[in-house]
Amino acid sequence: MLTASDLIVKTGELSVNETIAKIEKIVESKAKAGLGVFTIIDHKKGADKVDMNLSDTKVILFGNPKLGTKLMQRDPLVALDLPMRVLVYAENNVTKIVYRDPQKWAENFDLKDCKMVDKMVKAMDGITTGASKK
């Protein structure tokens, strides 16, 4: 079960759009290692289509299919939470960057002592910290 303690929340110095673009750039710079962006979901755009108000809110999905497949081979239920995702939204003129802690996330699956999870922790921290700065 997801709880607030499963989430890592950072404050960004850039707008939502700039932060998403920076995450995309960081991820794509690691293409040789197999990392890539799958899609970006613009929730504000969806809200606009139904004439509802929502602050800038986007989710970027990215990952490494080779590593993700290995995780899913260990436990097919991992597919529910892959690819990795980062929520970026504006709240009171502050950009928030949020993602699930891979260590906590892995506890829901048969991934104990999995070194790939350690790589995910490091990657998610590096990507989000890099994207949070001007």
Tens-digit pLDDT string for the chain (134 aa): 445 678 999 999 999 999 999 999 999 999 999 999 999 999 999 999 999 999 999 999 999 999 999 999 999 999 988 999 999 999 999 999 999 999 888 888 888 788 888 899 999 999 999 999 99
Cβ-contact 16, 58 below 8 angstroms: yes
**Which pTM value belongs to this model?**
0.92
Nearest 5°: the CA angle 48, 61, 50 is: 15
CA–CA gap between residue 25 and residue 22 (Å, rounded): 5
